[in-house]
């Protein structure tokens, strides 16, 4: 969920693009190929919640500059790059994700990253 000034700007979910069957319906290529979490993102039918939130904001013409995103897990490096370019200033997450490049990118971009419950 992207938020600014205590107002929800856009929401997102993990899932396939609209009109496209979800992997639960057609099978998960990543599972079939034994791809570990955090690797080979291009082999997934779905989009991450961060990507869908940014896309939703774009579709409706809502600026995400200066916003905070609240998400269940630390973003992957692909989502980190998108969040940086979307002008998100703060990332709040609860669960860890095995992608150290994302952490590096956020640090280099000056994005504040907070693990929920730790500050």
Nearest to 46 by CA among 24, 64, 70, 68: 24
Could you say which of 31, 50, 108, 118 is catalytic? 50
Residue in the structure block whose two tokens are 């896309």: 55
Is 79 labelled a binding residue? yes
Cα separation, 119 vs 115, whole angstroms: 7
Is 23 labelled a binding residue? no
Is 76 labelled a binding residue? yes
- The 3-class secondary structure across 21-79, one letter per residue, is CCHHHHCCHHHHCCCCCCCCHHHCCCECHHHHHHHHHHHCCCCCCCCEEEEEECCCHHH
Is 89 an active-site residue?
A: no
Binding residues: 48, 76, 79
Binding residues for Zn(2+): 48, 76, 79
Catalytic residues: 50
């Amino acid at each position: 969920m992207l938020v600014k000034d205590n107002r929800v700007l856009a929401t997102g979910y993990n899932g396939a693009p609209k009109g496209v069957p979800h992997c639960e319906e057609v099978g998960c290529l990543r599972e079939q190929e034994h791809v570990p979490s955090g690797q080979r993102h291009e082999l997934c039918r779905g989009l991450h919640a961060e990507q869908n939130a940014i896309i939703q904001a774009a579709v409706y013409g809502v600026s995400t500059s200066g916003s905070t995103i609240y998400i269940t897990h630390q973003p992957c490096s692909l989502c980190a790059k998108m969040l940086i370019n979307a002008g998100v200033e703060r990332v709040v997450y609860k669960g860890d994700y095995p992608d150290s490049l994302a952490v590096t990118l956020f640090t280099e971009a000056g994005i504040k990253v907070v693990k929920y419950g730790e500050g």
